[in-house]
Structure 1
C-alpha cells in the first residue's frame, strides 16, 4: 500500500507543478502482492518513458541504497516532499537549501530523472550545482546526460568543468553511456572533442574485456564507429580470444565496417592466431554468414580461397561454443562451409578457384559430400 501511495504522491506533485508537461510522461504502476503466513512482498515500478529513466522501489532496503530516499520504504512523505521542494528551486540559495535538506541526493541528476526535458538541469548549473557530484550508483550528471542523449546539457556541464573521463561504480564513463544508449552522433562528438578517451578497456563478468568500438559494433551504428576511429580508437585491438576487431565485424555481417577497416589499413589477407594457438584467416570468419557479400569482398582483396578452417561448433552466431577445444583438425575452408550447410559460400569458393580435388580425412572430395547431402547446385559445378 505504501508503494501505491508513493506513486500517487509523485504523480500528483509533478502534475500540480508542471501540468503542461504531463503529455510527455507515462507512468506505469505494476503491483504484485503475495501473502503467505503474513509475509508480504510488494513491488512497484514507476517509469518515465520520455527519458528512459526507471525508478524501482522495493519494500526491502537493499545494501547501498538505504541512504537514498528513493529506495527507503519508510520515506513516503520525504520522497514526495523532495519533489515538491525541488520545483521551488529558483536560485542558488534555494538550491543550497534543498541540497542541505536532501544531502544524499544529486540535484542535476534529480532534475534529469524527474523533468521531461534537460532545461531544469541546465538551470541548476547556473545556480552553481556541482557538475561532478555522483549519485548512489557513481554516475555523474554528464553520464546521466549521455545516457539520455542530452547534447545541450552535456555541453553546459563540460563548459563548467565536468570530468568527461570520470568512472562510475562499474568503471563505465560518459562515452560508454552515450554509445551504449545508441544516442546521437553529435553527443559522441561533443565528448570526444572534450577529451573523452576512446581506448578505455571495460570489463564485464559475462562479456570479458571490451572497448567502445566493440560496443558500437554491437549497436550497428556505422557513423559512431567511424567517428570513434577518426578520434583515435584502436582498430588493431584484439578480444579475450585474441581475435582482431574485424573478425567480430565479419561475424556480425557488417560489410560497411569491414570495408572501412580495410580502407583504414587492416590487411584482408591477414592471418591471426587465437588463444588456442590455432591460425585463422579473415575469410574463415564468413563461414556462418547468411550471405557471401563479405566473403566475395575479401577474396577480391586477395584472401586465399584454400585457407584452412576447423570443422567444429567453434563459432555459432558469434559466440564460442567449443571455447577450450583445440583438438580439431584443420581442413580447407570449403569443407567447413559444406559441413555447416553454407552452400552459397561453397559455390563462391569453387567459382573463385578453390581446390576441389583435395580430400578430407574420410578421403572424400567436396563433390562427394555434396552428393551425400543432396546439394545438386554444387554438383552442377563439377567439371
Structure 2
C-alpha cells in the first residue's frame, strides 16, 4: 500500500487547462473528466421499487459527468428505506434498470449503481414485506421517518443474528451481480451516512460482543466482508466504496473514527478497488488523514460541511486532495454541470425543493441547459415528460 503523503497529495498538473476537465482512467473504465455525480435519493421508482422511464431521462440528462453514481438502490426488501426507492432484487427491477443504463450509455455516459442497505433506518411502512428493521444492535434512531403518509415515529430495530449478517453480505453481492446484468459499469457500496456498514462501524449503533463488534477488528468485519463479497461477484476493478468517517448524520457516534477507518482501509486496499469515495468532515479531516493510506483512486466530497461550488471542486482536485470530486445537489439543478464548467457558465440554483422527492417530472427533469433548451439527450425517455 502506498503511504507516501507527498505523493498522495501532489498537486494535479492539468492537461486541459482545467483540473476537473482532464480525463482519468479507473482500473476498468476511462472517464472523460473528473466530475462524479454523487448519489442522491430522488424517490421516482414505483411502489414495487421498479425504476420508471422518467428515471432514464433524469440520468441521461446528466451523462456529461465523468461518472454517475446512482441513487441508493436497495439490495433486498430487508434493506429498503423508502417505498419508492428503487431495488435490485427482482427481474422486473433489473430489466427496468437496463432501460436507464442504456439511456445513459446512448448519451455517452458512464454509471455505477450504489447499493444501499437501510439497516435501522428502515420502517415497516416503507418495506414491501412490512418487516421490522434489522441492525447490528437493537438501538433505535430517534428522528422521525419519512413515509408516503408523512413523518412517523421510528420502529426499534431487531439485532441481527449471525445468519442475518451473513445474509446481508450475500445480498450486497447478489445486488452487485444484478447491477452488472442491468448494464451498470460498476457498483458503489454505501458504507457512509448512517447506512448498514456505517452502523457496524459506529460506537452507538454497534453494541455487539461477537466477532462483528467489540474492538476495531470486529467493527470493520462486516464492511470488509461486504467489499470482499462484492469484489468476488463482479471484480474488484468494478467496485467502489463510500465512507463518511465521523459524520454524525443519522445520529451516528464515532469516538475514534481515525483508528477504525485506518484499519478498514488497510484491510481492503490490497483488493484493488475501482475507487474510495470519501466524505470529509470538519471534526475529523478524513481526506487529509486517509488519502496517504489509500493507494488507489480517491473520490473526494466536502458537501456535508462545505457547499460544493465550481471553485471548491476545482481546488479539491487541483491541490491533489482527491483524484475525482463528487458533486451532489448542483447536479439537481444543473444537468449540464460539466459543460458549464468548460464554458465558464455558473451552475444554476435549485428551485422548488418541495419537489425533490415527489413522483413527477417537476423539479426532476425540467431544469434546462444553460442555453435555455430542454435537456433531452439522445436515448432518454420522454414518455413521462408531462406527467405530474
Would the TM-score normalized by the shorter structure come out above 0.5?
Answer: no
Larger radius of gyration: 1
More helix by share: 1
**TM-score scaled by structure 2?**
0.28
**TM-score scaled to structure 1, two decimals?**
0.29
